[in-house]
Amino acid sequence: MIGTAAFGPPLTATGISGDVVAAHDAADAVGPSATDGCTQILNDVRGRIALLDRGTCGFVVKVGNAQAAGARAVLIGDNVVALPPPGLGGSDPAITIPSGRISLADATAIRARLTAGESVRARLLLDTSVVAGTDRVRRQVMLAAL
């Protein structure tokens, strides 16, 4: 499950597939991490789905940097526990690749597999079997503030 982006092309039922690669940038004053995508992506992400970390700069900046490096899509791993992961806010008509936010647990699991030298293949798609505002068995999802 991913939180979809308010920018770039929407996900479709056909979706987009690709190998996931951890994207690395230059850690600098823009971001404390070399995996947050806040600066130019340094490793080869061409034709693949770039995995970035949430934090520091805006989502549009992260996705824009991955797009400029040739990524076909972007997954941004959350830095807090939030289920389902919220969407990605922002606006930029120059973004032409799909992107979304994944949970902290999913991002950690993917990074562990990549670090171990395993390949990870992902498919980002719109699941038309789930009705908005319901769970997978079509029970209405309700939120309440205490």
Tokens describing residue 4 = 């979809």
Contact of 56 with 32, CB cutoff 8 Å: yes
pLDDT tens figures, 63-87: 999 999 999 999 999 988 877 888 9
Q: Which residues pair with 123 in a beta bridge?
A: 17
Over residues 5-39, the pLDDT tens digits come to 999 999 999 999 999 999 999 876 566 688 999 99
Query: Rounded to whole angstroms, how far apart are CA atoms 40 and 62?
Result: 9
What pTM was computed for the model?
0.86
- What are the strands of the beta sheet with 73-77, ordered from one edge? 3-4, 99-102, 73-77, 49-53, 16-22, 121-124
